[in-house]
């Protein structure tokens, strides 16, 4: 049996996570344990993620999570083939919690250490669901990242474009904050948008009708803030309508840029039978965004694949999988591998 069992750890933003997966030679994944501990309540009073609070909270629960996941899987450290941890990009103080824990466990148990790029975890996350063949197109839309890339193989990613300023999730969060909708802003703004009229307020569609794969949300965010500041005492209708307009423009922008990328993908890989567009990241939870991407994918002849929400947002199963793929290729990292704030894929 050439399957590999890997423990993965994640703490690069505001979720502490540990998971154990088994990857077989055909690419089938069995998730033996998968735990995530959020920190939303700790950050809520500040209206955003506070790095020092995040780092401490990760450090407090990381080893407990490891013990719990081993218990869930009914195995011990001796049964894992390798230990993987996110080593960046992210808040370095936070990244250290998973990375240092993984180093200690690897040293203590005499197991190989695999340092994983968090973005590669997201890029491979659809393969937790099915042994999806390369190449496929990926739209990663989270609070920290917005990018389009082609996954060509394990360790081989062709970045088409990323955001020139804010990430899509950031645009949701900051607009929600300005409008007093609470933290995290994305889900709150989506809720407000449900009963809103997206056509009442005029907002720009960033990079509309332009070729290319970059994103930009700063101008849209500012336009929404300016409209908000001109409303004297906002009624519920004002709130709902502005939220709906903002959500609509973000969804249209994401689907426009994804459409450009799908066209490019078809030109680059004319033989791809059923091309796949994967959407991952927290913003993939948004129904308007999903609907816009469904339409765009259908029009371009693509299948839209969105991993279940627990694997769209930050999790350790995707980190364990990326680690397992690299381990299977005979790679491992030295114990002095550093935590990195920046690490483009
Ligand atoms: O992937 P994720 O959990 O964490 C990282 O940023 O890595 O993504 C979180 C982001 C936040 O900006 C959050 O507001 C956004 O995803 N988000 C949403 C929704 N759910 C989460 N944005 C819009 N609509 C939602 N339903
Ligand atoms: Zn992430």
- Two structure tokens written together for 298: 């259908």
Residues belonging to the binding site are: 118, 122, 140-144, 173, 186, 190, 286, 314
The structural domains of the chain, with segments of one domain joined by +, span 4-129+311-328, 136-306
Give the fold, CATH level 3, of 136-306.
Nucleotidyltransferase; domain 5 (3.30.420)
Confidence of residue 25 (pLDDT cuts 50, 70, 90): very high
- Two structure tokens written together for 163: 């955001």
To the nearest 10 degrees (0 to 180), the angle between helices 51-73 and 92-109 is 30
pLDDT tens, position by position, 225-278: 999 999 999 999 999 999 999 999 999 999 999 999 999 999 999 998 899 999
Q: What is the model's pTM?
A: 0.94
Q: Is 274 exposed, middle or buried (0-12, 13-18, 19+ CB in 10 A)?
A: exposed
Residues less than 5 Å from ion ligand 2, measured at CB: 142, 314
> Residue 218: which of 197, 203, 228 has the closest Cα?
203
Q: Is the dihedral of CA 144, 251, 219, 203 positive or negative?
A: negative
Confidence of residue 48 (pLDDT cuts 50, 70, 90): confident
Which residue lies with its CA nearest to atom 13 of ligand 1?
A: 186
Q: Specify the ligand 1 atom closest to the Cα of 14.
A: 4
pLDDT on residue 238: 98
CA of 122 to the centre of ligand 2 (A): 7
pLDDT tens, position by position, 105-162: 999 999 999 999 999 999 999 999 999 999 999 999 999 899 999 999 999 999 999 9
- Encode 35-57: b = buried (16+ Cβ within 10 Å), e = exposed: bbbebeeebeeebebbeebbbeb
C-alpha 56/C-alpha 64 separation (Å) is 14
- For the segment 64-93, the average pLDDT, to the nearest whole number, is 97
User: In residues, how long is the chain?
Assistant: 345
- 15 and 282 in contact (C-beta within 8 Å)? no
CA of 267 to the centre of ligand 1 (A): 31
Q: Is the CB of 286 under 6 A from ligand 1?
A: yes
CA of 14 to the centre of ligand 2 (A): 9
Residues belonging to the binding site for substrate are: 140-144, 173, 186, 190, 286
Give the fold, CATH level 3, of 4-129+311-328.
Nucleotidyltransferase; domain 5 (3.30.420)
Q: Which of 169, 188, 193, 318 should be mutated for ligand 1, with most atoms under 8 A from CB?
A: 169
C-alpha 81/C-alpha 113 separation (Å) is 10
Q: Specify the ligand 1 atom closest to the Cα of 167.
A: 12
Give 122's contacts (C-beta < 8 A, 6+ positions apart). 138, 140, 142, 145, 280, 281, 318
C-alpha 249/C-alpha 202 separation (Å) is 10
Q: Is 108 exposed, middle or buried (0-12, 13-18, 19+ CB in 10 A)?
A: exposed
> Residue 47: which of 143, 190, 188, 183 has the closest Cα?
183
Dihedrals phi, psi of 296, to nearest 5 degrees: -65, -40
> For residue 53, how far is the Cα from the chain centroid?
21
- pLDDT above 70 covers a percentage of the chain that reads 100
Indicate if 136-306 has the same CATH topology as 4-129+311-328: yes
Confidence of residue 1 (pLDDT cuts 50, 70, 90): low
Radius of gyration of the chain (CA): 20
- 118 and 319 in contact (C-beta within 8 Å)? yes
ipTM of the prediction? 0.98
Confidence of residue 46 (pLDDT cuts 50, 70, 90): confident
Residues belonging to the binding site for Fe cation are: 118, 122, 314
Lowest mean pLDDT among 80-89, 266-275, 291-300: 266-275
């Amino acid at each position: 049996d050439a399957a590999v069992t890997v423990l993965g750890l994640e703490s690069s933003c505001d979720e502490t996570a540990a998971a154990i997966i088994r990857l077989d030679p055909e690419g089938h994944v069995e998730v033996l344990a998968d735990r995530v501990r959020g920190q939303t309540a700790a950050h809520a009073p500040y209206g955003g993620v506070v790095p020092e609070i995040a780092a401490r909270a990760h450090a407090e629960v990381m080893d407990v999570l490891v013990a719990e996941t081993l218990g869930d899987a009914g195995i011990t450290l001796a049964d894992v083939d390798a230990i993987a941890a996110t080593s960046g990009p992210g808040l370095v103080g936070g990244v250290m919690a998973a990375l240092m824990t993984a180093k200690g466990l690897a040293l203590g148990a005499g197991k190989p250490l695999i340092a994983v790029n968090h973005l590669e975890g997201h890029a491979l996350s659809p393969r937790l669901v099915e042994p999806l063949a390369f190449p496929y197109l990926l739209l990663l839309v989270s609070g920290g990242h917005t990018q389009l890339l082609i996954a060509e193989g394990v360790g081989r990613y062709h970045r088409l474009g990323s955001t020139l300023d804010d990430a899509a999730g950031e645009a949701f969060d900051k607009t929600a904050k300005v409008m007093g909708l609470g933290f995290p802003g994305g889900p709150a703004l989506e809720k407000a948008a449900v009963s809103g009229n997206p056509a009442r307020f005029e907002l720009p569609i960033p990079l509309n009708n332009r070729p290319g794969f970059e994103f930009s949300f700063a101008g849209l965010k500012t336009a929404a803030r300016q409209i908000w500041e001109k409303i004297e005492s906002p009624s519920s209708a004002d709130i709902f309508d502005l939220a709906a307009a903002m959500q609509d423009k973000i969804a249209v922008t994401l689907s426009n840029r994804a459409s450009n990328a799908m066209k490019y993908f078809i030109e680059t890989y004319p033989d791809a039978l059923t091309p796949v567009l994967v959407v991952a990241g927290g913003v993939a939870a948004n129904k308007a965004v999903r609907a816009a991407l469904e339409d765009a994918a259908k029009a371009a002849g693509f299948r839209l694949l969105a991993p279940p929400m627990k694997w769209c947002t930050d999790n350790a199963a995707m980190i364990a999988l990326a680690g397992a793929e690299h381990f299977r290729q005979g790679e491992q990292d030295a114990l002095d591998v550093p935590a990195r704030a920046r690490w483009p894929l």
